Amino acid sequence: MQPTRKLCLSSCVTALVAAISLSSAVVKPVAAEERPKSAVDAILEAFDRFPVVALGMSHRQQDEADFSLALIRDPRFAAKVNDVVVECGNVLYQAMLDRYIDGSDVPLEQLQLVWRNTTQPGACDPLQHKELIDAVREVNRRLPAGHRIRVLAGDPPIDRDKVRRPEDAAPFGEQRDTNFASVVEDQVLAKHHRALGTS
């Protein structure tokens, strides 16, 4: 056998042995707890341990908004979650929001007051909030009346028609955190519900 062919054969055998060794190491089964979960699966599983799961979202980031829509549209979501509490939603318009989510017709110029007339005017992305509300409304169409998801507005009940000066709005801005917490406490925890919180 020529030296070059002998060297090639030796190299090929070494490479083959290395490949077999590597493949046998890779084939070892991975324990279930070590396998990564999808984000949707992880959040849905969190509801088995916690009544409220908060989904932190950056304003005007469509990829994050799309993820929240995928979560809400997952068939398992409605089986686990009763409410979605939105930071960008004026509680003053809760009754109108309830009607829309339940399937009633509400003109857009009225519905948009939910996310426009807040303590943070202009901060809430109109497209993303309308998409979220519409996603819940769409899911509710397939659910029986007693098992529908409710969207709860978490922002204080500021009436922008009565705001004349910055001082008029200031007390409402100071109540943002406590109002959101009281909505969760009164409408979710007190009713033994489970809720997704979104910003």
User: pLDDT tens-digit profile of 72-117?
Assistant: 999 999 999 999 999 999 999 999 999 999 999 999 999 999 999 9
Q: Is the pLDDT of residue 27 over 50?
A: no
Q: Is 60 left (phi over 0), alpha (psi -120 to 50) or beta?
A: left
Mean pLDDT of all residues belonging to the chain:
83
Classify strands 150-155 and 52-55 as parallel, antiparallel or unpaired: unpaired
pLDDT at 96: 97
pLDDT at 171: 84
DSSP structure string for 2-55: -HHHHHHHHHHHHHHHHHHHHHHHHTSPPPGGGS---HHHHHHHHTTT-SEEEE
Q: Is the pLDDT of residue 23 over 70?
A: no
Q: In the chain, count of helices (H) and strands (E)?
A: 10, 4
Beta carbons within 10 angstroms of residue 51's beta carbon: 14
Residue whose C-alpha is closest to residue 189's, from 85, 73, 40: 85
Beta bridge partners of 151: 84
Q: Is the pLDDT of residue 41 over 70?
A: yes
Q: Place 60 in a pLDDT band, splitting at 50, 70 and 90.
A: low
Domain 33-198, classified CATH 3.40.50.150, yes or no:
no
This prediction's pTM: 0.78
Residues 6+ apart with CB under 8 A from 89: 97, 114, 115, 118, 129, 151, 152, 153, 154, 155
- DSSP-based helix, strand, coil % in the chain, nearest 5: 60, 10, 30
Longest alpha-carbon distance in the chain? 98
Going through the chain in order, the beta strands assigned E by DSSP cover 52-55, 83-90, 150-155, 195-198
